[in-house]
Amino acid sequence: MDYISTRGEAPVLGFCDALLAGLARDGGLYLPATWPKMSKREIKALRGKSYQDVAFAVLKPFVDGEIEDAALKAMIDAAYGTFRHPAVAPLVQIGPNDFVLELFHGTTLAFKDVAMQLLGRLMDHVLKAKGERATIVGATSGDTGGAAIDAFAGLDNVDIFILFPKGKVSPVQQRQMTTSKAANVHALAVEGNFDDCQNLVKEMFNHAAFRDKVRLSGVNSINWARIMAQVVYYFTAALSLGGPDRKMSFTVPTGNFGDIFAGYVAREMGLPIDRLVIATNDNDILARTLKTGRYEMRGVKATTSPSMDIQISSNFERLLFEASGRDAGTIRGQMASLKQSGAFDIEPETLKVIKRVFRAGRATEKDVAKTIRTTLSETGYLLDPHTACGVFVAAKNQKPQSPMVTLATAHPAKFPAAVKLASAIDPALPTWLADLMDREERFDILAADLGVVEGFIAARARAAG
């Protein structure tokens, strides 16, 4: 399987090199040159199989023999052995045709664990096989950071630096990043917002001398392997609801567009998905874009679903590439315009292609609180604010008689203040995190300045020599 960049000017890579590369050298995002297909019969044969078995079947064509089957299987088993639910990602029914797909049974209580637990093992395996070290730098609006730190803490061949926006993540999210005792973990509070953190990471990737000096790698969803691992739960959810004989739709609380792009990939592979619904909070850039055809940044507003407080939705580039007929030139122009003027236009034909599958909607802060309250009183189910955005938008995009699955992306205990305000319930952290808020914090505060951040990392990254 060849991996190509959305901007068409980076070397074509195999799976292991794309895994270590993170962002492509031309600033683009890697994706497979062709989508592997699964027939209806092949998908049906996965019925009744464990999450781990489905994962192996779905991921194998992307890895394409670059890692031996037995090793891949062992890594999948170990990754999902860390989950606290035997189904890994169970489905819960909250209405006649309404389901939530609980993706928060991993170690840090967010959907990020699903991909990150596997990514940590894959990277460790590949680096050891090559006898190399890497420096991982990631940006987080709250959840990616904790999941990445948990997955990479203590690994011999990796140092990990996570940039989070100072004062803009929930206290639980912050502690999950700042209380690791592992010497290879560095939590960095950046004076800025998530987009500043993500821009810094991308600038580091685009700074060839720095990239090569520290052997830079990334674990944000710019890394193809993150998306790949997230494709699996669309298959397990669909199989539980009668797929592939029955079509269904998915609503995804969206920020960086990685999770919903994984749904697009599942559909391309042959899973009969009807609609993919983008749910945003008040930071509704994607909902506006689908309506107007113009992607236009405005200031970021702090909300009770902070992990979605994003303006630059990285993986939307992968969808634009697909919907434009893989026109790398157009993508280069659009991304240059975004950098220069904070906006770009989508060609009407491309927008039409996107709208064939995608819908979008926004949940305001009022909608989120009301959805948490009413879902609890009507069904007894407690939503976190991100999932509440999803459930609210799902209701507006539901087709009669057709199942709608909303991805439950975080456990309510990660956002206790917002959940309590909306529902009067103070959600408790699970036992293994019960003392989290008492653990000692260790982090550095840095200006949102490329030179400052690169200097800090270069001085500590063991791969820099």
DSSP 48-75: T--HHHHHHHHHHHHHTTSS-HHHHHHH
Token pair, residue 423, equals 């529902």
Q: Smallest gap, in angstroms, from Cβ of residue 47 to ligand PLP?
A: 27
DSSP 329-340: HHHHHHHHHHHH
**Contact of 251 with 393, CB cutoff 8 Å:** yes
Residue in 16, 58, 75, 110 binding ligand PLP, rule: CB under 6 A: 110
Q: Give catalytic status of residue 355 as yes or no.
A: no
Q: Smallest gap, in angstroms, from Cβ of residue 390 to ligand PLP?
A: 8
Cα 81 from Cα 373, distance rounded (Å): 33
Token pair, residue 208, equals 């060839």
**Contact of 234 with 259, CB cutoff 8 Å:** no
The residue to which tokens 């006649």 are assigned: 96
Q: Smallest gap, in angstroms, from Cβ of residue 462 to ligand PLP?
A: 28
Question: Which option in ligand LJ64HWYM, ligand PLP, none does residue 107 bind, with CB closer than 5 to 8 A by kind?
Answer: none
Residue in 359, 386, 412, 457 binding ligand PLP, rule: CB under 6 A: 386
Rank residues 222 and 448 by Cβ distance to ligand PLP and give the closer one: 222
Question: Which option in ligand PLP, ligand LJ64HWYM, none does residue 409 bind, with CB closer than 5 to 8 A by kind?
Answer: ligand PLP
Cα 63 from Cα 325, distance rounded (Å): 24
H or E element that contains 318: helix 316-323
Question: Which option in ligand LJ64HWYM, ligand PLP, none does residue 140 bind, with CB closer than 5 to 8 A by kind?
Answer: ligand LJ64HWYM
Residue in 176, 221, 303, 305 binding ligand LJ64HWYM, rule: CB under 6 A: 221
Residue in 75, 190, 308, 422 binding ligand PLP, rule: CB under 6 A: 308
Q: Write out the binding residues for ligand LJ64HWYM, residues 286-345 only, by CB under 6 A.
A: 307, 314
* 256 counts as binding ligand PLP under rule CB under 6 A: yes
**Contact of 146 with 173, CB cutoff 8 Å:** yes
Cα 408 from Cα 321, distance rounded (Å): 27
Of the candidates 37, 40, 49, 112, the residue annotated as catalytic is 112
* 416 counts as binding ligand PLP under rule CB under 6 A: no
Q: Write out the binding residues for ligand LJ64HWYM, residues 136-165 only, by CB under 6 A.
A: 140-145
**Residues touching ligand LJ64HWYM, count (CB under 6 A):** 13
Rank residues 43 and 308 by Cβ distance to ligand PLP and give the closer one: 308
Q: Smallest gap, in angstroms, from Cβ of residue 227 to ligand PLP?
A: 9
Q: How many CB atoms lie within 10 A of CB 175?
A: 22
Rank residues 221 and 371 by Cβ distance to ligand PLP and give the closer one: 221
Q: Smallest gap, in angstroms, from Cβ of residue 113 to ligand PLP?
A: 11
Rank residues 38 and 227 by Cβ distance to ligand LJ64HWYM and give the closer one: 227
**Contact of 415 with 172, CB cutoff 8 Å:** yes
* 254 counts as binding ligand PLP under rule CB under 6 A: yes
**Contact of 198 with 205, CB cutoff 8 Å:** no
Rank residues 5 and 141 by Cβ distance to ligand PLP and give the closer one: 141
Token pair, residue 304, equals 């009770």
**Contact of 409 with 387, CB cutoff 8 Å:** yes
H or E element that contains 460: helix 450-460
Token pair, residue 257, equals 């567009």
* Single-letter residue type at 253: P
Q: Measuring CA to CA, how many Å separate 439 from each of 127, 317, 385?
A: 31, 39, 25
Question: Which option in ligand PLP, ligand LJ64HWYM, none does residue 220 bind, with CB closer than 5 to 8 A by kind?
Answer: ligand LJ64HWYM
Residue in 258, 263, 403, 416 binding ligand PLP, rule: CB under 6 A: 258
User: Annotated catalytic sites, by residue?
Assistant: 112
What are the residues binding ligand LJ64HWYM (CB under 6 A)? 140-145, 220-221, 255-256, 258, 307, 314
What are the residues binding ligand PLP (CB under 6 A)? 110, 142-143, 221, 253-259, 307-308, 386, 409-410
